[in-house]
A and B are shown apart, each in its own frame.
Chain A
């Protein structure tokens, strides 16, 4: 009797796991399937396309500047990530290793900035970007994305750098190395894995951003991928080209998923570092 109830519970548990996996993966699977369907096949529920076609993928690049959109996203997300990592490494080193007066105030301020609703800075940023002549330009987006990527990279890197063994740093000081030398030669190589994880998270934040990109760009050529995908239109205004939207979705998601799978351990530690250690 006891054994039976145990195996029933075991079956129930595996059923739960299967449900979780199905719930997490099915929407993406359905996007992949739909992206290979064209015409009337799209409107039939088929779990494997009978005649898979690449038309949606081809049209995305022929009829729209989708390649350009991808390049834009890479430039913008890469630029914002690179700048954030440099600025955040410097400040995280100071925040984690030096006991500065006002350190708590700085961390508190960063925390508040990270909670800013984007809409609250939209008008002011629009004015700033236009005054700098960066409206409809990728540099304008890089600039505005610092608001999203910088607070969180500082926070996570500070948490990581607090774990750094003090002795190594002291040895460098005794050797006469200045603070910048110590940071570059000793600290950065050791926290490099944390930098990679934090950088990836920042890249994803910038890659996925929508509101600023929607507001600060005008032409199709300057759009980033999320805006391009949100604003894809078909031959008529009443008919959304779902197959093409799904193809675009698959293209931008696959690289992210591969990165996440490769670096998943690091990502989890990066996501939780701020929360549990902070």
Chain B
């Protein structure tokens, strides 16, 4: 993008003035991000090499890699890593499939499409904490509507302890996350679908192609960029999951993610040095993945919201 300054002004002088103004405009934002992002990140990384605790943050001693050595020997940390990976792969996978189905359904020409779109926006607008509490109540082992419905339908005989049974906890947490974030994926895919011209389908239909063939050979390749963006963005977001797990199952080891583990060390056990080491590891994993994806895949990832 090259600037085309107005011809009546000396080109070079205008360019210099614009550059100065441009950087002046950027300065407050960059300063704010360094202040609330860059500096705190640097401090967290520094803490990870010390024995800092919550009560004595200031005068801590440098202990080298000790925190990291202990971290890598803690089976609970590796459990948290595994939980996070399971959560990320399963929930993003389900969100992609469900998001595709919903987007394709809403892309059909039918009356009241706006209302339908509004309906699927509702889970997205509900705060994560609220959606976790709403589902926590629905999944209640004694009085929950999910158990009542499944028993009435004859699917299960006795009520299941969705949020206490180690075999079910992760599935429940994933189900709640899928409910809450599928709309984001569906909307991104829907937006991509709506940029495709109708003639494309008509031509394929004239050629006698079946709906499934049209989807696989025409639709899917064309919406691939949007699909990739949604998957990458959701994947990186799921890696740092905290709210939904914390509200539904607390610090329980069967569902604890890396963020939950790090916060428990930092705040509950007040071990800032050790917790910072865990937090730094999570940051490094996400940063390396992000840089790899952005540079290698040349995919533009949206900074849009999905964080909540």
Contact = CB atoms under 8 A, between A and B. Distances in A.
A113 B109 CA distance: 40
Interface string B100-135: 011001001000001011111111111111111111
A211 B247 CA distance: 11
A152 B305 contact: yes
Interface in A145-196: 146-148, 150-152, 154-156, 166, 170, 173-174, 178-180, 183
A270 B124 CA distance: 14
Contact of B29 (A13, A31, A115, A154): A154
Interface in B117-176: 117-135, 137-138, 140, 142-143, 145, 148-149
A11 interface: no
Interface in A23-70: 23-25, 27-28, 30-31, 34, 42-43, 45
Given A25-B122, A108-B294, A253-B130, A120 B41 contact: yes
Q: Is the interface on chain A under 10, 10 to 19, 20 to 34, or 35 or more residues?
A: 35 or more
B140 A260 contact: no
A258 B179 CA distance: 20
Nearest to A213: B129
A242 B43 contact: no
B9 interface: yes
Interface string A239-272: 0001001100100110011011100100110111
Given A28-B122, A110-B303, A99 B1 contact: yes
Query: By CB atoms of chain A within 10 A, which of B126, B149, B188, B294 has the most?
Result: B126
Contacts of B25: 90-91, 93-94, 179, 183
B81 to A, nearest CB: 13
Q: Bin the interface of chain B by size.
A: 35 or more
A136 to B, nearest CB: 14
A173 B37 contact: no
Contacts of A130: 57
Given A28-B123, A249-B133, A272-B191, 18 more contacts: A25-B119, A27-B134, A28-B126, A91-B25, A110-B33, A111-B301, A116-B283, A117-B239, A121-B44, A173-B9, A201-B304, A226-B129, A229-B133, A261-B118, A268-B117, A272-B304, A275-B230, A278-B301
